[in-house]
């Protein structure tokens, strides 16, 4: 299981990334919020640019925004692996996927806890990742929603049956206990749980507790 580390809850994000650079985490997870799709704004254009400069890890961008194209256009030639947007944004989904691919990044689509997996099934041949939210998007430190377990299993069945090349990612309330509940996921986003540590060695220890299953 791979790990994408959310820096949302960190008080000093750039310093935190400098420490995470020395761990075996796979990606830095950046939750971009516009104050419309979810309450509050996070990760300004300048901060994302700074993160891109500081991180030795590829970025895993999660767009919680009404207008994904507007944000994607700002991230050209960044050190990004995935750009994920929400099905619920209500925009032209195919156009957004094509735009991400045009920039040379992997395209991800995300769904909120209340959205059924079947709503994204027709996009699975085109996307590279599905991010299943196990909390309501927009705020760190929430508890894992257990309905996610069946959703992830259902998604895994669809992906495997059709042999889609899709990474299944789970985000929200992930720790060493809840990660065991989603063994069918390929990757988990770990946020506030990692911040129980105080340095790169402790961060690594907490990461290992989650991914060593």
Active site residues: 31, 171
Q: What is the helix (H) or strand (E) element at residue 9, kind and residue range?
A: none
Residue-wise DSSP of 121-174: GGGTTT-SEEEEESS-TT-SSPPPPTTHHHHHHHHHHHHHHHT---EEEEESS-
Residue 103: exposed, middle, or buried by beta-carbon count in 10 A (0-12, 13-18, 19+)?
A: middle
First CA to last CA distance, the chain:
8
DSSP β-ladder status, 106-111 and 80-86: parallel
The gap from C-alpha 150 to its chain's centroid, in whole angstroms, comes to 19
**Residue 21: Cβ-neighbour burial (10 angstroms; 0-12, 13-18, 19+):** middle
């Amino acid at each position: 299981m791979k790990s994408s580390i959310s820096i949302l809850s960190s008080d000093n994000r750039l310093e935190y990334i400098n420490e995470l650079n020395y761990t075996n985490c796979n990606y830095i997870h950046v939750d971009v919020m516009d104050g419309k799709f979810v309450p509050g704004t996070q990760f300004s254009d300048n901060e994302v640019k700074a993160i891109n400069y500081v991180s030795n890890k590829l970025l895993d961008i999660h767009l919680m925004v009404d207008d994904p194209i507007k944000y994607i256009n700002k991230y050209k030639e960044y050190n990004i692996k995935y750009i994920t947007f929400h099905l619920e944004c209500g925009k032209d989904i195919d156009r957004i996927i094509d735009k991400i691919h045009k920039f040379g990044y992997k395209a991800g689509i995300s769904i909120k806890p209340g959205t059924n997996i079947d709503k994204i099934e027709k996009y699975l041949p085109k996307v590279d990742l599905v991010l299943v939210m196990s909390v309501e998007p927009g705020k760190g430190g929430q508890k894992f929603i257990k309905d996610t377990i069946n959703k992830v299993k259902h998604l895994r069945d669809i992906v495997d049956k059709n042999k889609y090349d899709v990474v299944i990612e789970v985000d929200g309330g992930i720790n060493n206990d809840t990660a065991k509940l989603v063994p069918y996921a390929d990757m988990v986003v770990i946020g506030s749980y990692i911040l129980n540590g105080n340095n790169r060695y402790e961060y690594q220890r907490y990461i290992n507790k989650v991914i060593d299953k």
